[in-house]
Amino acid sequence: TSYRIASIPGDGIGVDVTVEARKVLDGAAASHGFSLSWTEFDWSCERYTKTGSMMPEDGIERLSPFDGIFLGAVGFPGVPDHVSLWGLLIPVRRAFGQYVNLRPVRLLPGTTSALAGRGADELEMVIVRENSEGEYSEIGGRHNRGQGNEFVLQESVFTRVGVERIIRYAFELAKTRTGRVCSATKSNGLIHSMPFWDEIFAEISSEYPDVHAEQCHVDALAARMVQAPDRLDVVVASNLFGDILSDLAAAVTGGLGMAPSGNINPTGEFPSMFEAVHGSAPDIAGQGIANPVAQILAGAMLLDHLGETVAAQDVRAAVEKVLEEGIVQTPDLGGKSTTAELGSAVVAALS
Ligand code: NAI
Ligand code: MG
C-alpha cells in the first residue's frame, strides 16, 4: 500500500521538525510493508509575503484527494498571526469538517516535566478540543475607531450539532480509555454559550451511564491540571478553552516540544490533518535545535489514522526508547543535540 500525504512544513521550526518526522515515518513505513508518497506544499508566511496569500485560491481542492495532511506550523514575525491562522489553518479545519482537535498528553520518560518526580509518572490524558466553531469566530467588529467611545464586539457561535458531536466524541473515546470525561466550562461568566454547552453535556452524559462525567470550571481545571492531574483522563472543551488547556497540559507533562495533535474529520469523508501543538517558535527558528518529538508523535497519530497502528506504536516506542536513554537531547530537554540528531536517533531506534 502507498498512502498519499500532503506535507505543509510552513514556517520557522515547522520546517526543521517536519523533515525529521518524515525521516522517522518513512523508516517505520519501510519496515512495516507500506510507503508514504509525499507531496510538499510551500504554503507559509513566506509565500504570503511574496504573493499576498498563505495558500493558492484552489488550496482546499488541491488537498482534498490526499489520505492525510502533515502540517509543520505557520506564523512568523512580520505577518500578523491572524493572517496565518485564518489564511490557512482555520479554512482547512473547517472545509474538511475536522471538528475534533485531539491532543493526547503523556508524561514521557526523561523529560523536564513540572510533574516528574511527584509520583505522577503514569500521567496520561487527552484534550478533545472543539475545532470548528465556538469562540474562534469572525462575527463582530470594531466600532467608533479612534474615538473615546471606541469598542469591539467579538461573538461566539455554538450550534447544537457542533456541541453534541464533540461531546459525543469525547464520551465514545472515554469508553475506550478509563471511562472518565471532564467538561471544561465557565457558565458563571459566559452566560449564554456555556450553560448551553453544560445542558448538552448533561443530556449526552445520560446516554453513557458507564462513563464518569464531570463538569469543571475552566479556571479551577487549569489549577487542577497542575496540582492533581492524575484523576483526569478525557477533557472536552470549546475551541478557546481547549486551545489553552492543551498548551498547559503539554507544559506540565514535558513541554511543548513533546505534544502532538490531530485535526480529525471523524466521518473520513475528507482528509484529517496532523501537527504539533506548538507553533513556529521564531525565537529558535533556523538554529537546528527544535525538539522534533511533537512532530514525530503527530506522525504516529497520522499512521494510526491511516490504520497502520503497528507502525504507529513502533514510532512511539522508538521515541520513548531515545528519551529514556537520555543521550540524544535537544536543549529544551536539557541537552546539546540538534533536531537532526534526535530525529536520526529515533530512526535508529525503530524496530
Ligand atoms: P510557539 O509554540 O511557537 O513557542 C512557544 C515557546 O515554546 C517558545 O519559546 C519556543 O521556543 C518553545 N517551543 C515550541 N516548540 C518547541 C520545540 N519543538 N522545541 C523546543 N522549543 C519549542 O508559540 P508562540 O511563540 O506563541 O508562537 C509563535 C508563532 O507560531 C506565532 O506566529 C503563532 O501564531 C504560531 N503558532 C502556530 C501554530 C500552528 O501552526 N498550529 C500553533 C501555535 C502558534
Ligand atoms: Mg495553541
CATH of the domain at 263: 3.40.718.10
Starting at the edge strand that comes first in sequence, how are the strands of the sheet with 124-130 ordered? 35-40, 2-10, 68-73, 273-276, 260-264, 100-106, 124-130, 234-237, 180-185, 212-217
Q: How far is the CA of 12 from the centre of ligand 1 (A)?
A: 9
| pLDDT, mean of residues 224-250 | 91
Question: Does residue 334 form part of some domain?
Answer: yes
pLDDT digits (tens, 9 = 90+) for 24-71: 999 999 999 999 999 999 999 999 999 999 999 999 999 999 999 999
Question: Does residue 108 form part of some domain?
Answer: no
- 35 versus 248: the higher-pLDDT residue is 35
pLDDT at 121: 58
pLDDT digits (tens, 9 = 90+) for 258-276: 999 999 999 999 999 999 9
The bound ligand whose nearest atom lies closest to the alpha carbon of 330 is 1
ipTM over 0.95: yes
256 Cβ closer than 6 Å to some ligand 1 atom = yes
Which of 280, 297, 323 to mutate to test ligand 1, by most ligand atoms within 8 A of the CB atom?
280
pLDDT at 254: 79
| pLDDT, mean of residues 190-219 | 97
* Statement to judge: residues 91 and 139 lie in one domain: no
Last residue of a domain, one of 218, 252, 286: 252
Nearest-CA residue for ligand 1 atom 40 is 73
**Which domain range does residue 267 map to?**
1-99+256-351
If DSSP codes are grouped into helix, strand and coil, which group holds residue 345? helix
- 90 versus 341: the higher-pLDDT residue is 341
If DSSP codes are grouped into helix, strand and coil, which group holds residue 313? helix
Phi, psi of 292 (to 5 degrees): -85, 0
Q: What is the dihedral of CA 346, 348, 350, 351, to 10 degrees?
A: -160
* Statement to judge: residues 262 and 235 lie in one domain: no
Last residue of a domain, one of 192, 226, 252: 252
* Statement to judge: residues 43 and 147 lie in one domain: no
251 Cβ closer than 6 Å to some ligand 1 atom = no
pLDDT at 230: 80
294 Cβ closer than 6 Å to some ligand 1 atom = yes
pLDDT at 251: 83
Q: How far is the CA of 279 from the centre of ligand 1 (A)?
A: 3
* Statement to judge: residues 296 and 206 lie in one domain: no
* Statement to judge: residues 247 and 294 lie in one domain: no
pTM attached to this predicted model = 0.92
pLDDT band at 238 (very low <50, low <70, confident <90, very high): very high
Last residue of a domain, one of 201, 221, 252: 252
